[in-house]
Structure 1
Amino acid sequence: MDPAGAPPATPYQLLGPVEVRSACGERLALGTPMQVRLLAVLMAQPGTGWSIDQLVDELWQGRPPKTAAGNVKTYVWALRRALRSPGFPDPAILAGPTGYRLALDGLTVDSVAFDDLAQRGYSALRQGHWSAAQESFEAALALWRGEPFAGLPGWGVLLSVRARLQEQRSSLAEEVADLQLRAGRHHELIEPLRSQVDDDPLRERPWGQLMVALARTGRRADALATYRQLRHLLAEEVGVEPGPDLQHLHTRILRAERELLTSDPRPPETCPPPVVPRQLPAPPSLFTGRAGELARLTTLLLADPGSAGTVVITGTGGVGKSWLALRWAHDNRHHFPDGQLHVDLSGFGTATQEASPSAVVVRSLLPALGVKPLEIPAEPAAQFALYRSLTANRRLLVLLDNARDAEQVRPLLPGSTRCGVLVTSRHTLPGLVAADGAHPLALDLPTDDEARQLLVRRLGAQRAAAQPAAVDELIRRTARLPLALSIVAARAAARPTFALQAIADDLAASRGGLAALATDDAATDVRTVLSWSYRLLSADAARLFRQISLHPAPDVSAAAVASLAGAPPHLIRPALDELTRANLLAEPSPNRYRCHDLLRAYGEELTYSLDRPPDRSAVRGRVLDHYLGVARDAARLVDAGWQPLDPPPLPADASQSAFADHRAALAWFAIEQQALLAAVDDAVAHNFDAHAGQLAQALTPLLSRLSQWHDLAAVQAIAVTVAHRRGDPRAEALAHRDLALAHIQHRRFSAAHHHLRRAMARCDQAGDRPGQASTHLHLAWLSDIEGDAGAALLHARRALALASSTDDRLGEAAALNALGWSHAQLDEHARAIAYCERALALYEEAEDRLGAAHTWDSLGFAYHGLGKHPTAADCYRRALALYSDVQDPCGRADTLVRLGDTHQAVGDHDTSVDLWRQALAILDRVGHPQAAVLSERLAAYR
């Protein structure tokens, strides 16, 4: 809006009778009614291309005269003349290869300006800026001059767009009424709301607003009578009761609730905005054409204002399904103000298994919607239910890319029909179409003109124009497949001195094809293009390309590449550079590489045809050795007490990273976490059971420190399986203990007890006394959480006896601290201090800062129990310093709470409240269940 608050200038107007005004405000004469309807169709979707056949259908509703196509061209000619004026020197109707489109800039059409103002208002509303939201909404409504396309027959696109705009207008009017009610303007709303319910009596929201306005003006009886009037109307017209919201409102009016009878008391600043995810990858830079498919997507997803629905884009691999979905999603993201979600389901990658719906929800969708790790339910059914709840009543766009089948997609469908869902797949997913009402959109090859546009944009118009026959042959040899076209264009652009005919001849001489992308025409086989690129590589680069295809994840570091190649990093750098230049490998960030799934599939086929099985096994073994070695280094730095269980020896050529400290180790893990989890799966799939179990064990301290309990449970379940399969009771016991740890964090105590019992049985079988001690410590912790201090004390005593008998100094320290804590819980504080001081001495001797932090915290609790508050506070501060140093946020939060308790005990209320708030901030950040308890405590001091 301009500074005066007037709506933006919109020369093309359809929110009322269709009109076009010149720069000086003069209404242009548009000609015959058919010309006006043609212009209205083009204005309904500005920028969208319409073929002659589509325009004929829109103008004559399936009953065209024989001269219809010629008539359309005549109407276009006449409209172009009518639209020429001092304000419009150039014709706005442009001709394309197959039809016409209305080419306008910015907010030239009033419906586009209306959408823009509405989205500004909703954005301001989500941020709590009520006055700005109302200003935008009212400016949007001020653009309306009557019914959209007034005076024109309603069918086809005009009917669907008219319905959408009218729904949006009604929704905006309701938003304005809500804002006015919050501002206390209920007196002036009563009559406009009466008119609104008279005009559209089946919309329940205005009835509720009218009831609130009446109640706030002291007319409760009239408000209740209004509810009875609506109830009678609904019963007569559709045979239903008012919705639950109105029923609840009716009850509140009957009770004369004070909050209802006054304006909303909360200022805008107290309304926290919901999380609005923006996960769409960047739009495809070389996208061309597809006007018809884009228009079809708009019709399927936006024609019904109340329901967006699901569209499945299907077609052969490399045909541009993801490009089309991303292009449409970016162009229409303003229609989905609550955000956009994106997931690559890896249905057709080279991973051992496609992404499971549960993993997608836990690792991508729920975190994007603001759910903390500890807030995520343990069971998949509950995870899906939470996801549906969070997406209900929201206007989200969800892009599910590269799906394998309907079962992979169905649990990821949102909980609201207002959400739009785009699915891309190489399969048609008939089950999703038949059972879930999805709309199929089959994507065919682009036209010759569109293929030529892609090549010209990459090669340059001058080079393409100089060799038109070669360009035509490149298009024919690649069968216009977008992926193949892109590879050819990149190859030609990287070698500007090559003749295009030579590139075409080389392409023609290639053989082969990817089975997943094969078509009836051999020229459409992408393997031809990929093999052509592969043949140009040096022997070292070709071998490295094949080896990288065996890496368990698409992203790989330079260090991991060096390990799988069995060579120092500086020796593989030339081959890596060659692969990136050939577009067979991308380097999205320094020393990190990514291989597209089709290229990985091609490389894997090559290595299975060219390399011996022992060589492939050696590559997998080397990369697993790399991840195991580096993960073990990181685990030792993060947890000084961590010890591996007889790891397999690492060969001399396995590349390992050296970390300066535990901070560097945690930073490395944050980057490599997905690759490490994939490595565990890959190890199991290819019979590297020892690596799978050892890697799972090394991940325990890393996943625990970051509160990644779902992933910890997954890898330890694998560790249990492989240890049992290998007949290794010590490894199986450890896996059961670590799996119990994940269950304890999920508060699944019965499952935790089960796994700890299994762990103890395996320790007994193996005669593993340190393992028995560790299991008793876990049981002590679990008993303490369950409130059984006596049982915790018993387990701690057994742990101490076992650790002492094996000269396990850190195990003894942990047991002593557990004994001290248990005695403190039983109000035996002096004994607690004695045990904790012995534990502290052992931890400090071993330089175990995390164990020392736990022990200083226990000492603080014991001294607090004795009433020695200054000493307790000093102990807590020592613990806080150590927790900060080792980056343990949950331990720090627990100590902050107890330090606050100590300040509270001596009457220092302000300091205690400040400490509790610091703790609450940490617990909220990690989604800890104690956050709610602490929040309630703080509420009492506000």
Structure 2
Amino acid sequence: MSTVVRIRVFGGLRLWRAGEEVDVGPLRRRIVLAALLAGRGAVVTTGELVDALWGDDPSPSAVNQVQRLIGQVRRLFEPELRNRETGSWVVPVGDGYRLRVEGRALDLAAFFELAAAGRAAAARDDHREAAQKYEQALEVARQPPFAGLPPALLELPAFVAIDAARAETAVEAADIALAHPRARRLLTLVAGYAAAAPLHEPLQARLIRLLTAAGRRAEALVLFEQVRQRLAGDLGTDPTVELRAAHLDALTDPQTEPEAIRPAQLPLPVAGFTPRDDLVAALEPGRGAAVVTLSGMAGAGKTTLAVHWAHRLTAEYPDGQLYLNLRGFDPDGRLVGPSEALNTLLESVGIAAAAGSTLETRAARWRSALAGRRMILVLDNARDSAQVRPLLPGSTACLVVVTSRNRLTGLVAREAAHPVQVGRLDRAAGWDLLARRLGRPRLNADPAATDELVQWCAGLPLALSLAAARTAVRQELSLADVVAEMRAAGRRLDALGTGEPHDDVRSAFSWSYAALTPAAARLFRLLAVHPATEIAAGAVASIAGAGAGEALAELHTANIVTQLGVDRYILHDLMHAYAAELLDAGEREQAEHRLVDHYVHTSRNAYLTFGLPPPTDPGPPPAGVHPVSPPGDNAALAWYKAERPALVGAVELALDRGWARAAALIVLHVRPLRSSSAEPRSDSREQTVRVWQAVEQLGDPVLRIGLGREVATLVRATEPERAVDLLTRALDLAVREGLVFWQAQAHRSLGGWPSILDRAGRLEHLRRAVALARDAHDVSALVYALEASAVEHLAGNDAAKAVAALSEGLELARAAAMNDFVVSLAGRQAEALLQLGDAAAAIRAADWALANAAAGDIHTAYAASRFVAIAYARLGDAIRAREAARVFRELCERHADSYNGIFGADLVAHERQEVEDAVAAMGSAPALQ
């Protein structure tokens, strides 16, 4: 039973395994699971299961079907269980089955344990502990058990007993509350249970007494009359002695003071609310702070969460609940000012605001009115801290929950409010929201369409709720049909509305947009040109064409963009779509030019950190473009990994707009970054081929040669003949144009591919590459050519020539600060030294390469750890050999896709086996401890 399982029966039967909700399945499987759960650990006989499934008319094959259903229930807990295996959860006992579920995993078990703990505390007269345990028990079992299952099933004894236990626990809790005034906070919970059991006279009698004790005599008298009429109408009986005595006490209650007004203004909780346990947990510390702020973008579900949480806490705040919409972002622009808000709040607790009184006077009266009272105050849709500050009580006995699209940093700084950020729903939560609105069977019938719907709504609760509403009213259509209909609606936001005024995602966004300053509004529109979800602050400056710090900070404060880390932000998919609707053609074209130029020049700066000569000079950055300059190759690699989706999008944008030169420069600039990141060639092949095809129409020979070589590199594993043709054409063009550097590069590429030419041909190409690089006085081309020559010499078992080429290459690379090549050549040197038989020197070279490799350089890690394992095996050091082999093995498994894509699966398999064989050859040498 190692798998973490959680089961809920109150409010409906649901099951989670390892954090993911499991579809319990069709009705009969649900009935069997429910019967086992209702047994509460006792044996449920086959006959009882037959009764639960078929009642008085069982199937002739009932027993066989029960056995099959038991197997299906077992696999809910243990999906890998084979047929006829018993497993650990549902065990056969005699002529029946017992379900083994720990109390912490099942809310039903938790309810009975908490109720028993309350009973035990009451027996030892620990009323505080008793009230706490009863409160927890009643909270757990607040909703009816096994909701949604057939009524006939719930009339079986085991299920009736659970309902009876719930009512009896409410009675016991009421007795504690009547005996100990401090436990009166249980009244709200008891009232809920009494409403669900209107003919349970002991429970109704206790509620009448609780209402009387709380000073709510009028409510107590009304309740008695309602119960009396119900008993007469439904059962034809009169109230019991107990009920009449409670009624008499309410009539003769000596209380003469006027009853305090107990407002109950919380809106109705949203049906089908998706529990956000992480956020509820984040809210809890705010009860100590007395003020909690919930901030997030429009439609994130802030109000729904605030109301849900406030309803859960009503028992702890017995003096009432207040709710006020401050209209901070309403479409009509009518903001509720602090004075108006205070008038409304004072009237809610029975105090009229004095005519002509100042804001300070009203705020003081408000604080006095709440002194000594425990109330919840939900201030919804606040514009800023100044609007909220005068409405705060003067005591921490009250809890204030404020929702806003802004972050309300002022309340956090000055009033020590507890901030909670309300973000988007993940895929599982999105499914859960739709399941609560549409029913899980409808989702399970087409999971692909459900996934598309969740993705379409980008995790925004408002969008998902609107999509669910649109789907719910189209029962005649499949979910796939509804999604296709939404996809065909035109603009993305067109599909996310009900057709009623202001009841759509676009309207919700528009109210946030309308509150922005002109500079922030302009920046928001311009961000639509960025092609990725994550946006770097440097790119924002170029898109804006000037400093954008204050405007970006305003968008962050307004929760229109979310800060991901230092100088990185996220623009929500639907917000991106809304910004694109607002952006006019003139703004768009200029911003797109600046964006593409930003990535041309920033990628060039990253390229230069490798000590390589740029393919061509793009000229200075245009006015308004603010490229970033990574300080070194490690920083350049980190920039590339973070910006890769944006770079791909920038190249795509350049191709769409016909800016082939810009697209080509970005592709050529990021080549060393792709190589150092061990990026699979297939990731960039299709786009690079399209860039090459566009560049072929230009008259720039350098770009044509560079892109031709790049395409050849990407296709050589799958199309070697095409690769040779591309390189030959590049070489011919370089010769015609007199481009010696590019001739050297083409010869080096042709000489470095064993699968294409014979060894003599490869050596000739490499010899010419070295000679041409020397003639061109280009250090980078020469280092590349020397490394390729060394690789070829190693393949031919000519280690001495390899060492000579590597030594010269290392000296040149160090002098030119080609740091990545220094590391690469050191790794090659380890291989050459190993081939020469100097295992100790090979280990030193490989260790140096590992220590100096850039973060994330899995090329060097692969080669060096392989050489270290083999070298230690040759030295007879079993412990270090096995440890190095383990590291190499883990690298191969962790980066299998990258290595197989770069080196080829056959070569990787061969080299893995070579390491295993080297270690195995050591025989019974001591094992690694």
TM-score normalized by structure 2?
A: 0.49
The structure having more radius of gyration, on CA atoms, is 2
Which structure would you say has the larger RCO, counting Cα contacts within 8 Å and 6 or more residues apart?
1
TM-score normalized by structure 1?
A: 0.49
